[in-house]
Amino acid sequence: MDDAHRSGCPINLTLEVLGDRWSLIVIRDIMFGNRRHFRELLQNSEERIASNILADRLHRLVDRGLLTREDDPSHKQKAIYSLTEMAIQLVPILAHMGAWGRRHLPVSEELSIRAELLETGGAELWDAFMDELRAKHLGKKLAAGTPSVLGRLTEAYLDVVASKAKSA
């Protein structure tokens, strides 16, 4: 065991739990794309994840406590994947990663609009989004009339896509 792992270096331990880019992509797609079934994650993957890699990452994320897997009551051969509290608490990290990417990498407007909104919304928006995710994935209650952060992020994305289609 290396010194960083033995000493409990938080960055190394975090990287061990999160794994590789595919793990973060799966979490992102569940979190921001509301994709909860294997087929949804596979068919709607922007990065075109292979089915064997997706199956492996879902299994790892469940084993590491970032996701839960339950049988779908509407279909005996389907499972529903849900974020755990540990995964929900990644929202600020993902927001910071998105903001960094927007500043330093050649990103498309339509795929970076959500990152922009999360960056400008800051901790208040992240907290509201985490509460929404807790309601959706953990069964917590939201106050009646609470606006949907995911709805706002999705609407902004669709607006940019529609605007680009009109100008094309």
Task: Report the CATH number at residue 48.
Answer: 1.10.10.10
Are 79 and 2 within one domain? Answer: yes
Match 């400008």 to its residue by tokens.
120
Are 46 and 98 within one domain? Answer: no
Q: How far apart are CA 105 and CA 98, in angstroms?
A: 10
Are the C-beta atoms of 94 and 28 separated by less than 8 Å?
Answer: yes
Q: Which among 48, 83, 118 is the end of a domain?
A: 83
Number of other residues whose CB lies within 10 A of the CB of residue 18: 18
Q: How many helices (DSSP H) and strands (DSSP E) are in the chain?
A: 9, 2
Are 109 and 53 within one domain? Answer: no
pLDDT digits (tens, 9 = 90+) for 25-49: 999 999 999 999 999 999 999 899 9
pLDDT digits (tens, 9 = 90+) for 77-126: 899 999 999 999 999 999 999 999 999 999 999 889 999 999 999 999 99
Q: Output 1 or 104, whichever has higher pLDDT.
A: 104
- Indicate the pTM of the whole model: 0.89
DSSP state of 38: H
Render the burial of 105-127: b for 16+ CB within 10 Å, e for the rest: eeeeebebbbbbbbbebeeebbe
pLDDT digits (tens, 9 = 90+) for 136-149: 999 999 999 999 99
| Assigned token pair, 9 | 């270096």
